[in-house]
Structure 1
Amino acid sequence: MNTLHVALGDRTYPIIIGSNASHAAEPLQKAIIGKTVLIVTNTIVGPLYAEQLAKTIRGLGKTVHIHTLPTGEEYKNLETLNTIFDTLLANQCDRKTTLIALGGGVVGDMTGFAAASYMRGVPFIQVPTTLLSQVDSSVGGKTGINHPMGKNMIGAFYQPQLVLADLSTLNTLPGNELSAGMAEVIKHGAIYDAAFFSWLEDNMPKLMAKDEAALTHAIVRSCEIKSEVVAQDEKEGGIRAILNFGHTFGHAIEAGMGYGAWLHGEAVGVGMILAADLSHRLGQLSATDVTRIQNLVKAAGLPTEPPKLGIDKMIELMKLDKKSDAGQIKFVLLEGIGKYKIQTAPKIILRETLRVCEVI
């Protein structure tokens, strides 16, 4: 097992990474405050892992309820969120009830938001079962739901008590979901660690083959990077915005196509390519580094071309990005691999980057 910590003073919490981490009884015992637990999962993950986790928790003397959400980004909305509250209330769950998110990013974001909101805040634990959620969404306390006009526009910063990243759950992960998670891994190297980016270039075949040693290193390093950034800026008032590299473009693609049409990581992969292109057009990133990013995204099995949503539509959707200021779109761009810069871009140059989105 590998243990890291997100250093947030009295709200510091551990991230435990390893095979069968979800059965680690001792950290679960410490993190579960009351006598009742609600496991929130989905229709794919639940049949695979929910009863195993429930058995471990019942062994600690806890009462366990299970709530199953429909699967997919298109269900990350207020209506589905309310079903979690329905189950909590139906079972007379109190303020000491612990929620456990067992699933990917959608389950984690929704369970965290439910925990932040129910009785104005109850404890919760993240048990991420996808690569994307293990390296990104389970760490840092971002919770929320989508609105038809924008992704993750309704939510709260609310930190978990514990993250258990169980590598064994990746054995049942479909190839496209593995690729989607790899987008966030690539992002961490691109913005923060040039040596890690180079390591990813050398080891992507092993990662895509689910080599355990390679995956462990990639997950641990990604969590280290995200933990360092979150510890400096918990609520995204400054440096934490760098974790959105590729996301301004990516979120626009997700919203424009309709949530669920593209996986989040697929949209982020293309978004990173667009962000690299814009960085190059602004004279900040070499053509060689643009190609390196394109090649690594492709090697991860991700799409490299955006959908033809149209330049104007992409710009309007990007204006809804949470980093936007008075209608000005702010981008996380690069000045080199591992060197970030948060800035605006002249509209004429942005439109050149977005020409690949033009409707033919």
Structure 2
Amino acid sequence: FKDILRIDHMWILPNLTKLSLNFNKIEVIEHIEMLTELKELNLSFNLIEKIENLDTLINLETLSLYSNKIKKIENLESLEKLEILSIGKNLINSIQGVDRFRFMNSLRVLNLEGNPIAQNPDFPLSQYVITLLPNLHYYEYTFIKSEMREKAQIRFSRELREIEYLQEKEIQARELQAREESEARRLASSFVDHLDGNQLFDSFWRDDADGRVLMLVGQQAQELAEEYEKDVFELTQEIYKLGLKRFVERDEEIRDFMDNLLDGQKELQSSGQKEIEDFLLYKATIFDEARITLRLLEQNVMHGDDEDSLENIKLSDTMHKLNVNFEDSLNDMWLVLMSQELHLHETIEESTTNFHRKISDMMSKFLEASQSFFVQLRE
């Protein structure tokens, strides 16, 4: 109830987990992409017209957009952890987008009541939603019983089969795209992208007007071009195979380097932890001795003993020795931890230098071999 017109200055709260801006005059969802730790977002009772700019809120579990001016269900698929969604009392007049909730596997509670699509007596929206979303537990805050789901599935069985078919095709397309992108990244990392086919040869002729004129000479020119295409393909395949081979070697070298680095850090952490634990045990022992000695001193003073009495002097000497021993032990632990840290730093520095040298050598050899192939192409 602050009459807030827009969302802004959220960058100062990157670790915010709950944000409530309901009952304001916000028209656009914006400037919240940095709130990646956000778990609950309440923007109900505003003037928002479009669901947008939520892609980065990967930890969001509860989202309320109740009573706004939203006309379309969209841009929610990336919220994989979303469990509760309320977009009731908006202006949504189409079921388009409801099927996209099937990709939100964590969604358990959904509210669409109060929208135009929920007011059509010839289309029971609740049954449609229950049919499409088998993981949903509550719709309009009412628990979905098994008999309700069975009845709904009978009513919308045809629509369900069609959506399942389309979803399966989309999943397959996504998997194919993911594999292609992964392969493209692998080839790019191998420095042989666009060399797994005739792409290089095709690029020779793409903007070569003289080459196209040469093809008009006749059959002999065509045969020469085909022979050259074959030679280019064979050489590019050699480069392609070499690049993949060198990529595997570099990848193994990188993994070994990272594994050794991690092992060294774990070993240092374990050794340092043992030093600290040993010191804490020693500290507990020496503090117990100090408490006993101090208590004896206090008792002697309370009983009227002179502070310079032989017994009190001995107790004071004991306290002094305990203090000196504790400080020496603390200093020794610090020296050990610092020496371990310094040793790790020197080891990492040496390993990094060797790693850089090995990678540079691998790259140089690969470039030299590739250059020899390109020389053959020119010849």
TM-score (norm 1): 0.22
Higher helix share: 2
Higher strand share: 1
Structure number, greater radius of gyration: 2
TM-score (norm 2): 0.21
